[in-house]
Structure 1
């Protein structure tokens, strides 16, 4: 693995909209890919974790949630880098984690979100795993 990988939930409208913003405005060296199309075992993670939070995967470490976003911003350099560095230190680290949590539990209500974003991955329409 040469470059980092940013994994996101490709079934979530809010997540996909956020990645669109990222691709337009935040330069990164990372491979940005939906976790549903990634070799999670080779990356050292699971679908359950990737469904729960965005992941930044490096060769020897995985960062999740707000710390994955911090790594992304640091990688982007320029004006994004100081923000990423700030998110890594308390009390900003704690604040970022709280904001990230609020976003994840409300992503179906945010721009680009759909009601399906509120469902666990296995229960989303088209997953083929719904037990409903």
Structure 2
């Protein structure tokens, strides 16, 4: 699966502070990676309609069992509301036992600096 390109569900106001979230997931098995891939479309559709979502992208190396997400939100509260609703909530619970290694990073940036680069996200995840 190639990188899903940067998608902008809602345009942020200019020159405002936004909340960035990056994640890295490694599954225990190839079967876990396939389960992650199978559930990705529903979560991706949820992002497209999520209140406060200002951008998102996904990188996947399923044969290596590694996935990265990068998203930008109006606030930490908007991200939390997304994570605890819709397809994301049951997906994250269902896949939790499949995860081997997980890393998260959050930071603030200006909406004028969007989209956030994958290079910056990778640095912050290490």
Higher share of residues assigned strand: 2
- Please identify the structure whose Cα radius of gyration is greater: 1
Higher share of residues assigned helix: 1
TM-score by length of 2: 0.26
By relative contact order (CA 8 Å, sep 6+), the higher-ranking structure is 2
TM-score by length of 1: 0.26
